[in-house]
Every structure is written in C-alpha cells, then in structure tokens.
Amino acid sequence: MQQVGATIGAWALIFLSAAVVFGCSPPEPIRIGFVGGTSGRVADLGIAGRDAVLLAIELRNQAGGVAGRKVELLISDDEQKPDVAQRVVRELIAQGVVAIIGPMTSAMATAVVPIANEAKVLLMSPTASTDELSGRDDYFFRVNASTLDNATRIAQYHLNQQTMRHLAVAYDLRNRSYTESWLNGFRATFVQGGGEMIKILRFESSGEMTFLPLAQALLDAHPDGVLIAANSVDTALLCQQIRKLDDRIPIITSEWAATERLIELGGKAVEGVIVAQNFNRDSTAPRYQAFYRAYRERFHREPGFGGTIAFDAANVVLDALAQRQGRQSIKEAVLAIRRFEGIQEPIVFNEFGDMKRNLFITVVRDGQFVVVK
C-alpha cells in the first residue's frame, strides 16, 4: 500500500508540475504579415518597407508586445507578379495573420484586395496609392495619399513655375494601376491650367528594356520638359539616355521614383530632376529623428519614403491591436480610433481607410534630395 501510495503521489506531482508548466507557458504570438517586392527592379521600395515593419515590431516587442503578447512578423516577397502576390497573401491568411502590411505597389494591391476582402483580413498598405481603390468600404487601408491627390498638387506646382507647358511623357505599364491613375490626375490639372502633353509613350519595365530609343522618341516631339512615371531604376536609366541627347531639358517624375536608388544609379544624369515626396527627409520632428537613428543603426542605410511610411503603417496596426475593444476586428478598431500619431504627421483615416498626406517638392542637387516647396 505504501508503494501504491507513493506511486500515486509521484504521478500527482508530475501532473501538478505539468499543469504549472503549461499554465505558465507564454501565450501564442500575434502574427502579422508583410507583403512587398523584395526582389527585382523595385526591390529598394520593398526592402525599405520590410525592414521598417520589422523594426516597428522589434521595438514593440522590446516594450512588452501587445497586451503582453509578442508579435511575430511573417514576410513574403510578391516578386511584383500578381499571381505570386495572390499566392503569398493566401498563404499568410492560412498561417493566421491578423493583418498584412502591404503591398508596396498599386498593381499588387489591386491583385490581392479581393482575397483580403473575402477573408476579412486587413491590408494596411504603406505606399499603394491608385485611385482604383479609393472610396471603397473594403479591407484595403493605406497611409499614403491617393494618386489623384498627389498628381493634382504636383501638376499645379509646375504650372505655377511657368517653365514647362509642353510635356513628353513616359510611363511604366508594369504598375499601370498606379501610373495611369497618376497621369490621369496630373493631366486633368495640367491641361486645365494651359499645359499640354504632346506625346505619351508607354513601356514595360524589364531587364531587357533599352532606353535610348525611348529617350529619342520623347525628345523628337520637341517638348520643353519630360515627365516620367516609373520606378527609381527605370527613371534613372531613362534620365541617363535623355541626358546623352539633351543635357538641359527639365525632367520631372512621379513620387514612385523618389528613392535613394534614383541618385545612386542616375548619378549626374539625375541632377536637377524634380520629384515630389510624401515625407520630409529634413524633418526635425523628434519621433522621426528617433526612428531615423534606429533604422540607420539597425540596417546601415537610409529608410527613404518607403521605410518611413511603412513604419507608420506598422504602428497603426500595432496601436489598433493594443486599443481594440472586445471582439472588434482590426478594421473596426482602426475606424473607431481614426487618428494615429505618425512619425512626421498625424494619420487620419476617413470612413474608407483613405487619408491625405503632406507633399514636398524636391530637386536632386549635389547628389541629395533638396526640398524646394
């Protein structure tokens, strides 16, 4: 009997120990996804966004996570291919993410929004700005201004300068949901103000693209300025070819090109190029300065607009998770809060998850983006 009692006591101790162990085990992490193009020609934008989101989650975990739970980031490369973007978004949803930061481009956003809507999983895009997704009650939110908002203000700036009235235009079809939306907004304001787009040429971004014939075709129209709506790599390469043929013609670009890679690849050919941006690289805001130092220390490079806005996007999701009430979804929490603190300016969503953002006109001068307005 003593042996049986001892055996029962031993098993009881084991079960008690197990209960203590399992009772004290840490809760499951909250999983958040990231989707962006981290390979290929627009990898600079995707990598900056990925790293900024990673930094935001690392900092939040260091501060105790969300309601005592750690946050885990699941990263996927959409390769800037719609079918790949759709596949990886489905995979992230299957892995139980509560929200996805991304995509980083409009073409990928339009490809995956129906999947997010069906699964009721929030997409919080840092930089996708197409007007195709504006004003919709869906699961797509963004922390950037729309193409119409940006393009209208950029066109008005150039009209006010009174230096260009006849533009030759080149734009990339690989992200046409952005570029065509942007050009439509720019053209409406520019033409109404007395300007004219005398030639519009389309091209498809690829490693086999030859830019000299495109540059020649643009200049054959005898414009007094060239407008490019493309990624930083293609914009830099096209500028190089334009400058071989004409070293004085003004060149302006959409904000998509405004990454550090434009200057790294373009060199002297992009000196004087005018490009708008949705953040101020020279901001002295304490929150931005703290982010900038942390990003530089962690990744040893500039965050650029992709990293800066992605950091805001990540923190919107994290703050919504921390503040949601009861059974609220992340979407419901964001709409209930509406106003979030960004690192340069407040982030205020309307009922459709859209917002406005400050715009800064910059010029490339001595290898730097310099704010002129």
User: Residue-wise pLDDT tens for the chain (373 aa)?
Assistant: 444 344 434 444 444 444 444 455 678 999 999 999 999 888 999 999 999 999 999 999 999 999 899 999 999 999 999 999 999 999 999 999 999 999 999 999 999 999 999 999 999 999 999 999 999 999 999 999 999 999 999 999 999 998 899 999 999 999 999 999 999 999 999 999 999 999 999 999 887 789 999 999 999 999 999 999 999 999 999 999 999 999 999 999 999 999 999 999 999 999 999 999 999 999 999 999 999 999 999 999 999 999 999 999 999 999 999 999 989 999 999 999 999 999 999 999 999 999 999 999 999 999 999 999 8
Coil, strand or helix at 182: helix
Based on the domain organization, do 160 and 266 belong to the same domain? Answer: yes
User: Which of 53, 112, 120, 46 minimizes the C-alpha distance to 318?
Assistant: 53
CB 207 within 8 A of CB 237: no
Q: Tokens at residue 173, please?
A: 């079809």
**Is 356 a domain residue?**
no
Model confidence pTM above 0.85: yes
CB atoms within 10 A of CB 213: 12
The whole-angstrom separation of Cα 246 and Cα 306 is: 31
Give the total number of structural domains in the chain. 2
Tokens of 255: 């904000």
DSSP label of 69: B
Residues 243, 306, single domain; the answer is no
Do 161 and 246 sit in the same domain of this protein? Answer: yes
Residues 112, 194: one domain? no
Structural domain includes residue 371: no
Last residue of a domain, one of 277, 303, 324: 277
Pairing, β 225-229 against β 251-253? parallel
Q: Give me the domain span that covers residue 267.
A: 148-277
Are 72 and 31 within 8 A, CB to CB? yes
Q: Give the separation between CA 241 and CA 260, rounded to whole angstroms.
A: 19
Within a domain: residue 117?
A: yes
Instruction: For residue 343, give the CATH number of its domain.
Output: 3.40.50.2300
Q: Is residue 121 part of a domain?
A: yes
In a domain, 11, yes or no: no
Is residue 81 situated within a structural domain? yes
Residue 252, CA atoms < 13 Å, CB-side half-sphere: 25
Q: How does strand 360-365 pair with strand 368-371?
A: antiparallel
Query: Residues 134, 228: one domain?
Result: no
Q: Six-digit token pair at 249?
A: 């013609």
Residues 6+ apart with CB under 8 A from 73: 31, 32, 33, 34, 53, 54, 57
CA distance 174 to 337: 36
Give strand pairing partners of 253: 228, 275
Domain stop point among 228, 247, 277: 277
In a domain, 360, yes or no: no
Nearest to 152 by CA among 186, 184, 128: 186
Token pair 């790293």 is found at 51
Rounded distance between C-alpha atoms, residue 302 and residue 39, angstroms: 18
Please check whether residue 219 lies inside any domain of the structure.
Answer: yes
Task: Name the region of 241 (left: φ>0; alpha: ψ -120 to 50; beta: rest).
Answer: alpha
> SS3 of 271, please?
coil
